[in-house]
Amino acid sequence: MKKLLILGSIVAFGWVSACALLDQFEITYGSGKHKLHPVKLEVLLPELDSLGVLDNLPGEVPGPSDYGTKPEVTMAHLLGAMRLLGGCCHGAPARQENVEGAIDADATTLTLCDCATERCDWLCPEEVDHGLMLDLSIRAQILSEERAASIRKTLVSISPEAVRQFRLRVLLIEPYETLSDTTGDPLERSVADRITGFSMAVATLAGDREPLLGWEDLQLLASADPQRYDLPRDSPVMESIIGNLLAGEAVWIDLEVALWFPEDVLYDILVAGSGIRVDLQPELVLSVRDIAKTRL
């Protein structure tokens, strides 16, 4: 009997010790051994032709057919073209380069909004200098159906609480322009110092939306190492991601990036070869203890 009590104590101690040890560990899916798709691309500013301005203005428009790609065309010309067409916002093809990850090119859009006029100024927050807003929406698959099914096999008998975090490791969000150096070669430079407003939100295809980054975060990214931003655990976006994961379904999100440029800097920023660069890594954190409790 005494031996049984000792054995029972050892087993109980081992159980408590194992749980305490496991509670210290998590599995992170991201850029390491357990991979999720990155979201990395450059979206070029639209040419005047792509706004339809040369097709829809009355009469003949002077200038060559490639006017939209001439180096002297600036963001001020884009704003002027929009005003000639009327309306507050105009969508343009999101011309993408250097894409990494699973980006839905057709569903990724770039919208330009004129919030410098009185009838459209409601598009700009009160705290920013009104001018031109670039609204970039990137549709990205962060988790394939195969990967979701593989994770679900691990999570099949546990609750959604095993999914501790979904976060974005943001390496870079940067508007840039392309100039020419003294030899005529292209030279890129950031124009992040020209904007007066910034926001980024994560949205689901069902329409749920969660603001994630603001103006202060963009300033931090420009002067520090990559930063991680967690989705609130109880947000509808997080619940949707967990629901897709537990169902073994692919997970898609829309990343909504908005940049506000004041009107007085638009003539200083060239269109040709300029755009917005985005580089971030989604990360999914799972509790090892919650997984292991169903196996012990």
Q: Is residue 20 part of a domain?
A: no
Q: Is residue 203 part of a domain?
A: yes
**CB burial of residue 43 (10 Å; 0-12, 13-18, 19+):** buried
pLDDT for residue 78? 87
Q: Is residue 11 part of a domain?
A: no
pLDDT for residue 199? 93
Pairing of strands 251-262, 186-190: unpaired
The tally of domains found in the chain comes to 1
pLDDT for 139-176, tens place per residue? 999 989 888 888 777 664 456 777 888 999 999 999 99
The DSSP letter of residue 125 is: -
Smallest CA-to-CA distance from 270 within 180, 162, 159, 206 is with 180
pLDDT for residue 63? 37
Q: Is residue 239 part of a domain?
A: yes
Q: Is residue 219 part of a domain?
A: yes
* DSSP code per residue over 177-226: EEEE-TTS-EEEEE-GGG-SEEEEEEE-TTS-EEEEE-HHHHHHHHHSS-
What is this structure's pTM? 0.81
Domain containing residue 130: 26-293
pLDDT for residue 289? 55
Query: Could you say which residues of the chain have pLDDT below 70?
Result: 1-25, 49-71, 154-159, 181-182, 184, 288-296
* DSSP code per residue over 218-286: HHHHHHSS-EEEEPPTTSHHHHHHHHHHHTT--EEEEEEEEEEEEGGGGGGSB-TT-EEEEEEEEEEEE
Q: Is residue 155 part of a domain?
A: yes
Q: Is residue 99 part of a domain?
A: yes
